[in-house]
């Protein structure tokens, strides 16, 4: 089995934003040479998330509006009163959505559903972010 590690950078342009990173993840898989296996996409940022969703601009906006209603940034959150800033809502949203996904790699490509895309969710931007990608599996023909 081969393991290939890489990273991509994302620069968000707004406080909250969805960034479709599918093409960047596919480029890493192509670079890896892995034909059959899995891809792990991970963000170590505690105010951001990685997830799969339908590649639809309106749904991206709906998603953030839903999260804003579900997790308003209440001034009474202890994190908002401390020395850490006023972004408790961003941390809570990240907890709900998650920080990684694992997707099958089939024939050197992400095995996504028909409408699926890989998204980076920004909850406390704008910022520069680093996303780690680890691809593991076998090259075409099963060799090393």
Asked whether residue 116 is assigned to any structural domain, the reply reads yes
pLDDT at 46 over 70: yes
Asked whether residue 49 is assigned to any structural domain, the reply reads yes
| pTM (two decimals) | 0.95
Mean pLDDT of 126-130: 98
Asked whether residue 62 is assigned to any structural domain, the reply reads yes
% residues pLDDT > 70 (the chain): 99
Asked whether residue 143 is assigned to any structural domain, the reply reads no
Cα–Cα distance, 17 to 56 (Å, whole number): 13
Tell me: the pLDDT tens digits for 16-31?
A: 999 999 999 999 999 9
Domain that holds residue 116: 2-138
Tell me: the pLDDT tens digits for 69-99?
A: 999 999 999 999 878 779 999 999 999 999 9
Total domain count for the chain?
1
Asked whether residue 144 is assigned to any structural domain, the reply reads no
What's the confidence (pLDDT) of residue 143?
62
What's the confidence (pLDDT) of residue 142?
77
Asked whether residue 113 is assigned to any structural domain, the reply reads yes
Q: Which two tokens stand for residue 47?
A: 């105010």
Which has more pLDDT, 41 or 144? 41
**Cis-peptide, bond into residue 126, ω within 30° of zero:** yes
pLDDT band per the 50, 70, 90 thresholds, residue 144:
low
Q: Pairing mode, if any, of strands 116-122 and 128-139?
A: unpaired
Q: Do residues 135 and 105 make contact, with C-beta atoms less than 8 angstroms apart?
A: yes
- The DSSP letter of residue 99 is S
Q: What is the CATH number of the domain that holds 22?
A: 2.60.120.460
Mean pLDDT of 104-132: 98
């Amino acid at each position: 089995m081969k393991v290939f590690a890489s990273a991509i950078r994302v620069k968000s342009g707004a406080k909250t934003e969805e960034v479709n990173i599918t093409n960047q993840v596919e480029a890493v898989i192509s670079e890896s040479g892995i034909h059959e296996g899995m891809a792990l996409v991970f963000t170590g940022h505690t105010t951001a998330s990685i997830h799969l969703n339908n590649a639809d601009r309106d749904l991206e906006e709906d998603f953030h509006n839903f999260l804003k209603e579900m997790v308003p940034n209440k001034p009474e959150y202890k994190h908002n009163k401390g020395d850490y800033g006023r972004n408790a809502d961003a941390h809570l949203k990240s907890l709900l959505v998650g920080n990684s996904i694992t997707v099958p790699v089939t024939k050197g490509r992400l095995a996504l559903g028909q409408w699926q895309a890989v998204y980076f969710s920004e909850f406390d931007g704008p910022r520069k972010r680093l996303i780690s990608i680890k691809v593991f599996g076998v090259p075409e023909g099963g060799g090393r």
